[in-house]
Amino acid sequence: MASNCNLVSVLGVLLIFTLVHNVVIVVGQNIPAVALFAFGDSNFDAGNRKYLTSATLAQNFRPYGKSLDDPNGKFSDGKIVPDSIGKCNLASVLGVVLVLTFLHNPLTVAGQNIPAVALFTFGDSNFDAGNKQTLAKANVAQGFWPYGKSRDDPNGKLSDGFITPDFVAKFMGIPIPIPAALKPDVNVSRGASFAVADATLLGAPVESLTLNQQVRKFNQMKAANWNDDFIKKSAFMIYIGANDYLNFTKNNPNADASAQQAFVTSVTNKLKNDISLLYSSGASKFVIQNLAPLGCLPIVRQDYNTGMDQCHEPLNNLAKQHNEKIGPMLNEMARTAPGFQFTVFDFYNVILRRTQRANTYRFFLTNSSCCGIGTHNAYGCGLPNVHSKLCEYQRSYLFFDGRHNTEKAQEMFAHLLFGADPNVIQPMNIRELVVYPVDEPMSEVWLPTTSATVQASDSSSASRGYEVY
Protein backbone atom coordinates (compact mmCIF):
# COMPACT_ATOMS: atom_id res chain seq x y z
CA MET A 1 0.00 0.00 0.00
CA ALA A 2 1.03 3.56 -0.59
CA SER A 3 2.19 5.50 2.40
CA ASN A 4 -1.00 7.55 2.50
CA CYS A 5 -3.17 4.40 2.21
CA ASN A 6 -4.58 5.74 -1.06
CA LEU A 7 -6.65 2.81 -2.25
CA VAL A 8 -7.40 4.62 -5.47
CA SER A 9 -3.76 5.20 -6.40
CA VAL A 10 -2.88 1.61 -5.57
CA LEU A 11 -5.66 -0.24 -7.33
CA GLY A 12 -7.29 2.04 -9.91
CA VAL A 13 -10.60 0.44 -9.08
CA LEU A 14 -13.61 0.03 -11.36
CA LEU A 15 -16.73 0.29 -9.22
CA ILE A 16 -20.15 -0.79 -10.45
CA PHE A 17 -22.75 0.10 -7.88
CA THR A 18 -25.53 -2.41 -8.52
CA LEU A 19 -27.74 -3.26 -5.54
CA VAL A 20 -25.31 -1.51 -3.21
CA HIS A 21 -26.13 -1.72 0.50
CA ASN A 22 -23.39 0.41 2.01
CA VAL A 23 -22.42 4.04 1.63
CA VAL A 24 -19.05 4.26 -0.13
CA ILE A 25 -16.56 6.93 0.83
CA VAL A 26 -13.37 7.20 -1.17
CA VAL A 27 -10.43 9.29 -0.10
CA GLY A 28 -8.04 10.23 -2.88
CA GLN A 29 -5.22 12.64 -3.60
CA ASN A 30 -2.54 13.01 -6.31
CA ILE A 31 -5.14 11.94 -8.86
CA PRO A 32 -4.27 11.19 -12.54
CA ALA A 33 -6.19 12.90 -15.35
CA VAL A 34 -8.58 10.18 -16.49
CA ALA A 35 -12.13 10.04 -17.83
CA LEU A 36 -15.66 9.51 -16.57
CA PHE A 37 -18.10 7.51 -18.72
CA ALA A 38 -21.78 7.46 -17.76
CA PHE A 39 -24.35 4.89 -18.88
CA GLY A 40 -27.99 4.46 -17.98
CA ASP A 41 -31.29 6.29 -18.26
CA SER A 42 -32.60 9.84 -17.88
CA ASN A 43 -30.83 10.29 -14.55
CA PHE A 44 -27.50 10.36 -16.41
CA ASP A 45 -28.68 11.65 -19.82
CA ALA A 46 -26.60 14.73 -20.67
CA GLY A 47 -28.71 15.47 -23.74
CA ASN A 48 -28.52 12.35 -25.92
CA ARG A 49 -32.28 11.93 -26.18
CA LYS A 50 -32.73 15.06 -28.26
CA TYR A 51 -30.50 13.58 -30.99
CA LEU A 52 -32.54 10.38 -31.16
CA THR A 53 -35.97 11.87 -31.78
CA SER A 54 -37.48 14.53 -33.95
CA ALA A 55 -40.11 15.35 -31.34
CA THR A 56 -39.96 18.42 -29.12
CA LEU A 57 -38.71 17.41 -25.68
CA ALA A 58 -39.66 19.13 -22.44
CA GLN A 59 -36.15 18.96 -21.03
CA ASN A 60 -34.90 21.30 -23.74
CA PHE A 61 -36.96 24.17 -22.34
CA ARG A 62 -37.47 26.02 -19.09
CA PRO A 63 -37.96 25.34 -16.25
CA TYR A 64 -35.39 22.60 -16.96
CA GLY A 65 -31.94 24.14 -16.51
CA LYS A 66 -33.47 26.98 -14.49
CA SER A 67 -30.65 27.13 -11.92
CA LEU A 68 -28.02 27.57 -14.65
CA ASP A 69 -30.24 29.42 -17.13
CA ASP A 70 -29.45 26.62 -19.57
CA PRO A 71 -32.17 24.13 -20.59
CA ASN A 72 -29.78 21.72 -22.31
CA GLY A 73 -31.59 18.41 -22.37
CA LYS A 74 -30.81 17.31 -18.82
CA PHE A 75 -33.64 16.26 -16.51
CA SER A 76 -32.83 18.71 -13.74
CA ASP A 77 -33.01 22.39 -12.92
CA GLY A 78 -29.23 22.48 -13.45
CA LYS A 79 -26.40 19.99 -13.31
CA ILE A 80 -26.90 16.26 -12.97
CA VAL A 81 -24.92 13.77 -10.87
CA PRO A 82 -22.15 13.00 -13.42
CA ASP A 83 -21.49 16.75 -13.86
CA SER A 84 -20.85 17.19 -10.15
CA ILE A 85 -18.91 13.95 -9.87
CA GLY A 86 -16.57 15.03 -12.65
CA LYS A 87 -16.02 18.35 -10.95
CA CYS A 88 -15.17 16.78 -7.58
CA ASN A 89 -12.85 14.29 -9.28
CA LEU A 90 -14.59 10.98 -8.80
CA ALA A 91 -13.61 10.23 -12.37
CA SER A 92 -10.07 11.24 -11.55
CA VAL A 93 -10.19 9.13 -8.43
CA LEU A 94 -11.30 5.89 -9.99
CA GLY A 95 -11.76 6.05 -13.77
CA VAL A 96 -15.26 4.95 -12.95
CA VAL A 97 -18.11 3.57 -14.96
CA LEU A 98 -21.25 4.31 -12.97
CA VAL A 99 -24.26 2.09 -13.43
CA LEU A 100 -27.30 3.52 -11.68
CA THR A 101 -29.39 0.36 -11.80
CA PHE A 102 -31.03 -0.13 -8.40
CA LEU A 103 -28.59 2.21 -6.68
CA HIS A 104 -29.76 2.33 -3.07
CA ASN A 105 -27.18 4.40 -1.23
CA PRO A 106 -25.37 7.70 -1.59
CA LEU A 107 -21.84 7.84 -2.93
CA THR A 108 -19.56 10.38 -1.31
CA VAL A 109 -16.03 11.32 -2.22
CA ALA A 110 -13.92 12.68 0.61
CA GLY A 111 -10.44 14.08 0.68
CA GLN A 112 -11.25 16.67 -1.96
CA ASN A 113 -11.67 20.27 -0.82
CA ILE A 114 -12.18 19.24 2.82
CA PRO A 115 -10.69 21.96 5.02
CA ALA A 116 -8.14 21.02 7.66
CA VAL A 117 -10.37 21.62 10.67
CA ALA A 118 -11.12 19.79 13.91
CA LEU A 119 -13.80 17.48 15.24
CA PHE A 120 -15.00 18.01 18.81
CA THR A 121 -17.40 15.55 20.44
CA PHE A 122 -19.63 15.94 23.48
CA GLY A 123 -22.08 13.65 25.19
CA ASP A 124 -22.18 10.26 26.86
CA SER A 125 -20.59 6.83 26.55
CA ASN A 126 -21.35 6.55 22.83
CA PHE A 127 -18.75 9.25 22.11
CA ASP A 128 -16.46 8.76 25.14
CA ALA A 129 -12.90 8.23 23.89
CA GLY A 130 -11.57 7.39 27.36
CA ASN A 131 -12.55 10.28 29.63
CA LYS A 132 -14.40 8.03 32.08
CA GLN A 133 -11.13 6.25 32.82
CA THR A 134 -9.66 9.54 34.01
CA LEU A 135 -12.63 10.54 36.16
CA ALA A 136 -13.41 7.17 37.74
CA LYS A 137 -11.86 6.36 41.10
CA ALA A 138 -11.82 2.66 40.29
CA ASN A 139 -10.98 0.72 37.16
CA VAL A 140 -13.74 0.77 34.55
CA ALA A 141 -14.72 -2.21 32.42
CA GLN A 142 -14.00 -0.46 29.12
CA GLY A 143 -10.34 -0.22 30.02
CA PHE A 144 -9.96 -3.97 29.74
CA TRP A 145 -10.52 -6.85 27.34
CA PRO A 146 -12.88 -7.69 25.62
CA TYR A 147 -13.42 -3.97 24.96
CA GLY A 148 -11.15 -3.06 22.09
CA LYS A 149 -11.06 -6.71 21.01
CA SER A 150 -11.12 -5.94 17.28
CA ARG A 151 -8.10 -3.64 17.63
CA ASP A 152 -6.40 -5.50 20.47
CA ASP A 153 -6.57 -2.17 22.29
CA PRO A 154 -8.93 -1.73 25.28
CA ASN A 155 -8.53 2.05 25.53
CA GLY A 156 -11.64 3.22 27.34
CA LYS A 157 -14.05 3.17 24.41
CA LEU A 158 -17.28 1.23 24.86
CA SER A 159 -16.96 -0.88 21.74
CA ASP A 160 -14.91 -3.75 20.41
CA GLY A 161 -12.85 -1.22 18.45
CA PHE A 162 -13.22 2.26 17.03
CA ILE A 163 -16.29 4.38 17.72
CA THR A 164 -18.26 6.55 15.30
CA PRO A 165 -16.28 9.80 15.80
CA ASP A 166 -13.04 7.96 15.00
CA PHE A 167 -14.36 7.07 11.55
CA VAL A 168 -15.85 10.53 10.97
CA ALA A 169 -12.48 12.06 11.82
CA LYS A 170 -10.81 9.75 9.31
CA PHE A 171 -13.25 10.81 6.60
CA MET A 172 -12.50 14.45 7.43
CA GLY A 173 -8.81 13.79 6.81
CA ILE A 174 -7.87 13.95 10.49
CA PRO A 175 -4.84 11.65 10.80
CA ILE A 176 -5.45 10.34 14.34
CA PRO A 177 -8.52 9.16 16.27
CA ILE A 178 -10.11 11.89 18.37
CA PRO A 179 -8.38 11.78 21.80
CA ALA A 180 -10.00 12.01 25.21
CA ALA A 181 -9.70 15.62 26.34
CA LEU A 182 -9.27 14.71 30.01
CA LYS A 183 -6.27 12.46 29.43
CA PRO A 184 -2.90 14.16 29.97
CA ASP A 185 -0.45 14.83 27.16
CA VAL A 186 -2.71 14.05 24.21
CA ASN A 187 -2.59 15.75 20.82
CA VAL A 188 -5.74 17.87 20.55
CA SER A 189 -4.63 19.91 17.53
CA ARG A 190 -7.38 18.42 15.33
CA GLY A 191 -10.04 18.00 17.99
CA ALA A 192 -10.91 16.23 21.21
CA SER A 193 -13.64 14.22 22.88
CA PHE A 194 -15.24 15.80 25.92
CA ALA A 195 -17.90 13.08 26.14
CA VAL A 196 -18.00 10.98 29.30
CA ALA A 197 -19.81 7.73 30.04
CA ASP A 198 -22.86 8.26 32.31
CA ALA A 199 -23.16 11.93 31.25
CA THR A 200 -26.54 13.64 31.51
CA LEU A 201 -28.11 16.97 30.71
CA LEU A 202 -29.82 17.31 34.10
CA GLY A 203 -28.63 16.47 37.58
CA ALA A 204 -25.15 15.61 38.82
CA PRO A 205 -23.90 12.31 37.39
CA VAL A 206 -21.42 10.36 39.51
CA GLU A 207 -17.83 10.36 38.21
CA SER A 208 -19.01 11.98 35.01
CA LEU A 209 -19.81 15.42 33.58
CA THR A 210 -23.02 17.02 32.44
CA LEU A 211 -23.01 18.51 28.96
CA ASN A 212 -22.74 21.94 30.54
CA GLN A 213 -19.61 20.88 32.43
CA GLN A 214 -18.14 19.42 29.24
CA VAL A 215 -18.64 22.72 27.43
CA ARG A 216 -16.99 24.58 30.31
CA LYS A 217 -14.04 22.20 30.11
CA PHE A 218 -13.78 23.02 26.40
CA ASN A 219 -13.70 26.71 27.28
CA GLN A 220 -10.89 26.11 29.78
CA MET A 221 -8.77 24.43 27.09
CA LYS A 222 -9.70 26.72 24.21
CA ALA A 223 -7.23 29.59 24.50
CA ALA A 224 -4.19 27.34 24.79
CA ASN A 225 -5.07 25.05 21.89
CA TRP A 226 -7.32 26.56 19.19
CA ASN A 227 -7.90 30.02 17.76
CA ASP A 228 -11.36 31.46 17.15
CA ASP A 229 -11.27 31.09 13.37
CA PHE A 230 -10.29 27.42 13.64
CA ILE A 231 -13.09 26.73 16.13
CA LYS A 232 -15.66 28.45 13.94
CA LYS A 233 -14.76 26.22 10.98
CA SER A 234 -14.66 22.97 12.96
CA ALA A 235 -17.43 20.43 13.55
CA PHE A 236 -19.05 19.84 16.96
CA MET A 237 -20.83 16.49 17.41
CA ILE A 238 -23.25 15.94 20.30
CA TYR A 239 -25.08 12.84 21.53
CA ILE A 240 -26.67 13.27 24.95
CA GLY A 241 -29.90 12.61 26.83
CA ALA A 242 -30.19 8.83 26.91
CA ASN A 243 -29.15 8.58 30.56
CA ASP A 244 -31.66 11.26 31.55
CA TYR A 245 -34.55 9.22 30.14
CA LEU A 246 -33.24 5.86 31.35
CA ASN A 247 -32.98 7.26 34.88
CA PHE A 248 -36.37 8.98 34.69
CA THR A 249 -38.13 5.79 33.59
CA LYS A 250 -36.42 3.74 36.28
CA ASN A 251 -37.24 6.24 39.04
CA ASN A 252 -40.74 7.14 37.81
CA PRO A 253 -42.28 3.93 36.45
CA ASN A 254 -45.83 5.28 36.79
CA ALA A 255 -45.28 8.76 35.34
CA ASP A 256 -48.30 9.93 33.38
CA ALA A 257 -48.24 11.67 30.00
CA SER A 258 -48.09 15.18 31.46
CA ALA A 259 -45.15 14.29 33.71
CA GLN A 260 -43.34 12.74 30.76
CA GLN A 261 -43.95 15.79 28.57
CA ALA A 262 -42.73 18.11 31.32
CA PHE A 263 -39.55 16.09 31.71
CA VAL A 264 -38.88 16.06 27.96
CA THR A 265 -39.31 19.83 27.92
CA SER A 266 -36.82 20.20 30.78
CA VAL A 267 -34.26 18.02 29.01
CA THR A 268 -34.57 19.69 25.61
CA ASN A 269 -34.53 23.19 27.12
CA LYS A 270 -31.28 22.31 28.90
CA LEU A 271 -29.86 20.94 25.66
CA LYS A 272 -30.71 24.21 23.92
CA ASN A 273 -29.03 26.22 26.68
CA ASP A 274 -25.87 24.12 26.51
CA ILE A 275 -25.69 24.34 22.71
CA SER A 276 -26.11 28.10 23.05
CA LEU A 277 -23.20 28.16 25.51
CA LEU A 278 -21.06 26.26 23.02
CA TYR A 279 -22.12 28.67 20.27
CA SER A 280 -21.14 31.63 22.46
CA SER A 281 -17.76 29.93 22.88
CA GLY A 282 -17.16 30.22 19.14
CA ALA A 283 -18.64 27.01 17.72
CA SER A 284 -20.85 27.42 14.66
CA LYS A 285 -21.13 23.99 12.97
CA PHE A 286 -23.18 21.51 14.99
CA VAL A 287 -23.93 17.83 14.33
CA ILE A 288 -26.72 16.67 16.63
CA GLN A 289 -27.37 12.93 16.78
CA ASN A 290 -30.90 12.30 17.97
CA LEU A 291 -31.66 9.61 20.52
CA ALA A 292 -31.71 5.92 19.68
CA PRO A 293 -34.87 3.87 20.35
CA LEU A 294 -33.89 3.44 23.98
CA GLY A 295 -36.52 0.79 24.61
CA CYS A 296 -34.82 -1.47 22.06
CA LEU A 297 -31.40 -1.50 23.72
CA PRO A 298 -30.57 -5.08 24.78
CA ILE A 299 -30.04 -4.03 28.40
CA VAL A 300 -33.48 -2.39 28.46
CA ARG A 301 -35.17 -5.40 26.86
CA GLN A 302 -33.48 -7.55 29.50
CA ASP A 303 -34.27 -5.31 32.47
CA TYR A 304 -37.94 -4.93 31.50
CA ASN A 305 -38.43 -8.54 30.36
CA THR A 306 -39.81 -7.59 26.95
CA GLY A 307 -38.89 -10.85 25.25
CA MET A 308 -36.76 -11.09 22.14
CA ASP A 309 -39.10 -9.41 19.65
CA GLN A 310 -40.49 -6.49 21.64
CA CYS A 311 -39.06 -3.18 22.84
CA HIS A 312 -39.96 -1.26 25.99
CA GLU A 313 -42.29 1.27 24.40
CA PRO A 314 -42.46 3.83 27.26
CA LEU A 315 -38.76 4.57 26.71
CA ASN A 316 -39.16 4.65 22.95
CA ASN A 317 -41.99 7.14 23.34
CA LEU A 318 -39.81 9.42 25.47
CA ALA A 319 -37.03 9.24 22.88
CA LYS A 320 -39.50 10.09 20.10
CA GLN A 321 -40.88 13.06 22.03
CA HIS A 322 -37.34 14.28 22.60
CA ASN A 323 -36.35 13.85 18.96
CA GLU A 324 -39.42 15.65 17.66
CA LYS A 325 -38.29 18.81 19.46
CA ILE A 326 -34.70 18.83 18.20
CA GLY A 327 -35.17 19.86 14.55
CA PRO A 328 -37.55 22.78 15.22
CA MET A 329 -35.35 23.94 18.09
CA LEU A 330 -32.27 24.04 15.87
CA ASN A 331 -34.18 25.72 13.04
CA GLU A 332 -35.06 28.52 15.44
CA MET A 333 -31.47 28.82 16.63
CA ALA A 334 -30.22 29.03 13.04
CA ARG A 335 -32.79 31.74 12.33
CA THR A 336 -31.87 33.90 15.32
CA ALA A 337 -28.14 33.21 15.89
CA PRO A 338 -25.87 34.62 13.16
CA GLY A 339 -23.68 31.98 11.55
CA PHE A 340 -25.31 29.07 13.40
CA GLN A 341 -25.24 25.98 11.17
CA PHE A 342 -26.40 22.47 12.02
CA THR A 343 -27.50 19.07 10.90
CA VAL A 344 -29.51 16.31 12.62
CA PHE A 345 -28.63 12.62 12.29
CA ASP A 346 -31.69 10.36 12.54
CA PHE A 347 -30.05 7.81 14.81
CA TYR A 348 -33.42 6.60 16.07
CA ASN A 349 -34.51 5.13 12.77
CA VAL A 350 -31.02 4.04 11.75
CA ILE A 351 -30.95 1.77 14.82
CA LEU A 352 -34.60 0.74 14.59
CA ARG A 353 -34.33 -0.41 11.00
CA ARG A 354 -31.35 -2.57 11.90
CA THR A 355 -33.13 -4.14 14.86
CA GLN A 356 -36.08 -5.00 12.62
CA ARG A 357 -34.21 -6.28 9.58
CA ALA A 358 -30.92 -7.73 10.67
CA ASN A 359 -30.20 -9.61 7.46
CA THR A 360 -30.64 -6.51 5.31
CA TYR A 361 -27.72 -4.93 7.12
CA ARG A 362 -25.67 -8.13 7.37
CA PHE A 363 -26.14 -8.72 11.08
CA PHE A 364 -26.92 -12.06 12.71
CA LEU A 365 -28.38 -10.67 15.94
CA THR A 366 -29.67 -7.17 16.68
CA ASN A 367 -31.72 -7.74 19.84
CA SER A 368 -28.96 -9.25 21.98
CA SER A 369 -25.39 -8.25 22.78
CA CYS A 370 -22.13 -9.89 21.83
CA CYS A 371 -20.75 -9.55 25.36
CA GLY A 372 -22.56 -9.99 28.69
CA ILE A 373 -24.89 -12.29 30.58
CA GLY A 374 -28.66 -12.59 30.87
CA THR A 375 -31.59 -13.24 28.57
CA HIS A 376 -30.21 -10.74 26.03
CA ASN A 377 -26.56 -11.19 27.02
CA ALA A 378 -26.70 -7.54 28.00
CA TYR A 379 -25.25 -7.13 31.49
CA GLY A 380 -21.74 -7.05 32.87
CA CYS A 381 -19.44 -7.09 29.86
CA GLY A 382 -15.88 -6.71 31.11
CA LEU A 383 -16.75 -6.56 34.81
CA PRO A 384 -14.28 -8.61 36.86
CA ASN A 385 -16.94 -10.15 39.11
CA VAL A 386 -19.26 -11.16 36.25
CA HIS A 387 -18.73 -14.30 34.19
CA SER A 388 -19.91 -12.68 30.98
CA LYS A 389 -20.11 -14.57 27.70
CA LEU A 390 -18.43 -13.31 24.55
CA CYS A 391 -19.76 -14.10 21.08
CA GLU A 392 -17.50 -15.83 18.57
CA TYR A 393 -17.78 -13.14 15.90
CA GLN A 394 -18.60 -9.60 17.00
CA ARG A 395 -19.16 -8.28 13.47
CA SER A 396 -22.35 -10.32 13.26
CA TYR A 397 -23.87 -8.28 16.12
CA LEU A 398 -25.37 -4.79 16.14
CA PHE A 399 -24.60 -4.34 19.85
CA PHE A 400 -21.30 -5.22 21.50
CA ASP A 401 -22.58 -4.78 25.05
CA GLY A 402 -26.01 -3.97 26.44
CA ARG A 403 -26.22 -0.48 24.99
CA HIS A 404 -23.20 0.18 22.78
CA ASN A 405 -22.69 -0.82 19.18
CA THR A 406 -19.99 -2.92 17.57
CA GLU A 407 -17.24 -1.33 15.54
CA LYS A 408 -18.89 -2.63 12.36
CA ALA A 409 -22.11 -0.78 13.20
CA GLN A 410 -20.25 2.36 14.28
CA GLU A 411 -18.48 2.51 10.93
CA MET A 412 -21.85 2.25 9.19
CA PHE A 413 -23.14 5.18 11.24
CA ALA A 414 -20.08 7.25 10.37
CA HIS A 415 -20.59 6.65 6.65
CA LEU A 416 -24.18 7.84 6.99
CA LEU A 417 -23.19 10.88 9.03
CA PHE A 418 -20.55 11.91 6.55
CA GLY A 419 -22.22 11.16 3.25
CA ALA A 420 -25.87 10.15 3.42
CA ASP A 421 -28.86 12.05 2.07
CA PRO A 422 -31.76 13.78 3.91
CA ASN A 423 -33.50 10.46 4.61
CA VAL A 424 -30.87 10.00 7.29
CA ILE A 425 -29.19 13.32 8.04
CA GLN A 426 -30.57 16.74 7.27
CA PRO A 427 -30.49 19.45 6.12
CA MET A 428 -26.94 18.44 5.09
CA ASN A 429 -24.40 15.75 5.87
CA ILE A 430 -21.11 16.38 7.67
CA ARG A 431 -19.12 16.67 4.47
CA GLU A 432 -21.46 19.41 3.26
CA LEU A 433 -21.48 21.08 6.67
CA VAL A 434 -17.71 21.42 7.00
CA VAL A 435 -17.35 22.99 3.54
CA TYR A 436 -20.36 25.28 3.96
CA PRO A 437 -19.18 28.91 4.08
CA VAL A 438 -18.70 30.16 7.62
CA ASP A 439 -21.08 32.93 8.75
CA GLU A 440 -23.38 32.31 5.79
CA PRO A 441 -27.06 31.66 6.63
CA MET A 442 -28.21 28.12 5.98
CA SER A 443 -29.93 27.73 2.63
CA GLU A 444 -32.05 24.82 3.90
CA VAL A 445 -33.73 23.95 7.18
CA TRP A 446 -34.62 20.75 8.99
CA LEU A 447 -37.97 19.35 7.88
CA PRO A 448 -40.08 16.56 9.36
CA THR A 449 -40.22 13.63 6.95
CA THR A 450 -42.53 10.69 6.41
CA SER A 451 -39.75 8.44 7.68
CA ALA A 452 -39.24 10.52 10.82
CA THR A 453 -40.71 7.83 13.05
CA VAL A 454 -40.74 4.19 12.05
CA GLN A 455 -42.84 2.25 14.52
CA ALA A 456 -40.85 -0.23 16.56
CA SER A 457 -43.42 -2.91 15.88
CA ASP A 458 -43.66 -2.18 12.15
CA SER A 459 -41.72 -4.67 10.07
CA SER A 460 -43.51 -3.73 6.84
CA SER A 461 -41.54 -0.53 6.32
CA ALA A 462 -39.10 -2.37 4.07
CA SER A 463 -41.39 -1.51 1.17
CA ARG A 464 -41.25 2.23 1.80
CA GLY A 465 -38.08 2.92 -0.09
CA TYR A 466 -35.79 4.14 2.67
CA GLU A 467 -35.00 0.90 4.42
CA VAL A 468 -31.48 0.62 3.06
CA TYR A 469 -30.24 3.33 5.38
Model pLDDT, residue 85: 66
Question: What is residue 235's three-state secondary structure?
Answer: strand
What is the pLDDT averaged over residues 347-363? 96
Query: Which listed CATH number (3.40.50, 1.10.1060, 3.30.70, 2.60.40) goes with 119-464?
Result: 3.40.50
> Residue 11's Cα: distance from chain center in Å?
29
| CA–CA distance, 74 with 85 (Å, rounded to integer) | 15
Domain boundaries, given as residue ranges, for the chain: 7-110, 119-464
What is the pLDDT averaged over residues 225-248? 98
| CA–CA distance, 132 with 140 (Å, rounded to integer) | 8
In terms of phi and psi (left: phi > 0; alpha: psi -120 to 50; beta: otherwise), the region of 191 is left
- For residue 185, the number of C-alpha atoms closer than 13 Å in the C-beta half-sphere is 0
The answer to whether the beta carbons of residues 398 and 360 sit under 8 Å apart is no
Q: What is the dihedral of CA 193, 197, 198, 200, to 10 degrees?
A: 10
pTM metric for this prediction: 0.76
Model pLDDT, residue 357: 93
Model pLDDT, residue 25: 42
- The least confident of 42-56, 109-123, 200-214, 270-284 is 42-56
Catalytic residues: 125, 401, 404
Model pLDDT, residue 57: 65
- DSSP annotation of 279: H
Other C-beta atoms lying within 10 Å of the C-beta of residue 220: 10
Strand partners, 287: 237, 343
Identify the band that residue 64 occupies on the pLDDT scale cut at 50, 70 and 90: confident
